[in-house]
Structure 1
Amino acid sequence: MPPLILITRPVDAAKTFAAAVQAELGSGADICIAPLLDIQLLPDLPDLSRYPTLIFTSAHAVASFARATTARDFTCYTVGSATAEKAAECGLSPIIGPGTGRDLAERIVGDAPATPCLHLRGDHIAFDIAKYLNSGGLDTEEATVYRQLPVPLPDAILTRIMQADAVIAPVFSPRSAQLLLDAVPKGSNLHVAAISGAAAGVFAPDNATRIEVAQSPDRQSMLACTATLWSHANRLEGRTGPQ
């Protein structure tokens, strides 16, 4: 069987990334959307009038913000370009970070925006931006505006994984990497495209056949990394990639 590309992002993000992968690799790519997280937006925000500067590290936080208020008069930082796109769509003017929470926090410390800052975040984070900024002298608070609820893989998808000669799995955070590792049957021929070293570090050497870290922590680099792993798996099985 051809390599299976297993996309485990929350459903909307998974569909967007799957479409990009399909466009890149063509009709020969076997793509399976299998979310391991369900996003639950929370209805309430804190009183935003206290915060001249908002920080977003995911598009889900932007969605929660946009649903809860029409206020847009803020200095706005986003972790990277994908989150910035969502912020711009809802009427904010984002300052775009380099792609990771730590790099964004370093940028904000350097800019020294008006405080207090507010980090709008999910219930799980890879890097504690508020703690970093407070230690750097910038008064920063945080608010959880969405939850990330684990979702088990259906039996039909587990069967597809076990039947595949190779499973190409892009992972976009350490938490999603751990959920993938917990969900995939033992012995799967797993090839991981990781958005960061932290995400890659979840996997021990015997957990995956191959692990590649994207050149940059962004969607385009993850697409390129996924395509590279897919082409490599095809070569190993004696197949050719798209012409």
Structure 2
Amino acid sequence: MAPQSRDPLPTFLLTRPEAQGARFAAALRDAFGPDIRIVTSPLMMPEFLSPAIAEQPEALIFTSETGVEACRRLASPELEGVGRAWCVGNRTARAARAAGFEARSADGDAEALVAAILGTGERGPLLHLRGAESRGDVAGRLSAQGIPTAEAIVYDQRPKPLSAEAIDALGGGRPVLAPLFSPRTARLLTAEVARGAPGAVLWIAALSPAVAEAAASLPAQRRQIAAQPDADALLDAVKALLDAQSDA
């Protein structure tokens, strides 16, 4: 149920890739009602790549749903017959299972993923299929601990400018609440706001301290960091921002 307030709810600005943005938009409508205003303007679009795979791994590592989709598109004999996957979180694991893998979720971030793999007696070799920009040095840390792990860049996220609708919302004088899921998205939004809507009234809900740090230069009136790096916790951070509005 939407919080009671004398003021209307802010506009929600979703900057994730379209599929993930649509899922979070549905969660927002479930939480705050079907009539909230949501502006969807992805700041990145995936470009899928086809790197050569040197050898067949015992299992794959996925740190995003986009990595799973890239794997589905990758025609590589070295990946045929690979049936296991380690996944950073539950959504990524569900995507991997849908792609036919026996997937295990670390239910967290890169730190949790490395710890989960190290704690199971995994011997490798492993292969991390990742994006061009990645945090946590998963392959390097596992290799240093005796589990040979290679990595292949299977997609890149190309920047996209904010849509005209998003710029209009940011320049409209009313608060705009932006849930931010990644440091790169935070940096891209910072540049877009500086270029097209420097007077925006922004509230920022950040998935993690790293995302909040990347968003530090945004001219935000209110900020909230999720208690843990997942979509449910980020939705709670959004609720906290709206509760603060109601109490003001």
Offset of residue 44 of structure 1: 4.7
The runs of 5 or more residues in structure 2 that have no matched partner are: 1-7
1:234: Cα distance to partner?
A: 5.4
The residue aligned with 2:141 is 132
Q: Which residue does 1:9 correspond to in 2?
A: 16
Q: Is the 8 A contact 2:10 2:174 kept in 1?
A: yes
CA distance in 2, matches of 1:233, 1:149: 35
Which secondary structure state, in structure 1, belongs to the residue aligned with residue 20 of structure 2? helix
How many Å apart are 1:228 and its aligned residue? 2.7
Which of 100, 104, 122 aligns to 1:95? It is 104
Q: Quick one: structure 1 residues 205 and 149, their matched pair in 2 at CA, closer, same or farther if it must change by over 3 Å?
A: closer
Matches within 5 A, 1:28-67: 28-44=35-51, 46=53, 50-67=56-73
CA shift for structure 1 position 57: 0.2
Per the normalisation by structure 2, the TM-score is 0.87
For 1:239, the equivalent position in structure 2 comes to none
What is the alpha-carbon distance in structure 2 between the residues aligned to residue 173 and residue 138 of structure 1? 28
2:84 maps to 75
Cα distance change, pair 181–202 in 1 and its aligned pair in 2 (3 A): same
Alignment root-mean-square deviation, CA: 2.0
Amino acid in structure 2 at the alignment position of 1:26: G
CA contact (8 A) 1:2 1:164 kept: no
Look up the match of 1:181. 190
SS of 2:46's equivalent? Answer: strand
How far apart, in 2, do the equivalents of 1:13 and 1:224 lie? 17
Give the Cα separation in 2 of the matches to 1:52 and 1:188.
49
Cα separation, 2, equivalents of 1:17 and 1:229: 16
- Alpha-carbon distance in structure 1 between the residues aligned to 2:204 and 2:141: 30
Q: What's 1:241 paired with?
A: none
C-alpha contact (below 8 Å) 2:207/2:230 kept by paired residues? yes
- Equivalent positions of 1:176-215 (< 5 A) are 176-184=185-193, 185-204=197-216, 207-215=219-227
Which runs of 5 or more residues in structure 1 are unaligned? 237-243
Residue type of the partner of 2:188?
A: L
Identify if the C-alpha distance between structure 1 residues 207 and 136 changes in structure 2 by more than 3 Å, giving closer, same or farther: farther
- Tell me if the contact between 1:45 and 1:65 (Cα under 8 Å) persists in the aligned partners: no
Q: In the aligned structure 1, how far is the partner of 2:179 from the partner of 2:42?
A: 12
Instruction: Return the letter of the residue paired with 2:69.
Output: A
Could you tell me whether the CA contact under 8 Å between 1:72 and 1:91 is conserved in 2?
no
2:127 alignment partner, SS class = strand
Q: Distance between the aligned counterparts of 2:174 and 2:41, measured in 1?
A: 18
Aligned-residue offset at 1:45: 5.3
CA contact (8 A) 2:51 2:152 kept: no
Match of 1:224 among 219, 236, 242: 236
Amino acid at match of 1:24: A
Q: Secondary structure at the match of 1:147?
A: strand
- Partner SS for 1:163: coil
Identity of aligned residues (%): 32
* Matching of residue 107 in structure 1 with residue 116 in structure 2: yes
> How many matched pairs?
235
Shift in alpha-carbon separation, 1:72–1:78, aligned structure 2, 3 A: farther
Tell me the distance in 2 between the aligned counterparts of 1:137 and 1:81.
26
Shift of 1:51: 0.3
Match of 1:161 among 170, 173, 176: 170
* TM-score, scaled relative to structure 1: 0.88
Deviation at 1:2, TM superposition (A): 4.2
For residues 201-222 of structure 1, give each alpha carbon's deviation from its aligned partner in whole angstroms, at most 9, with x where no partner exists: 1233773222211122112112
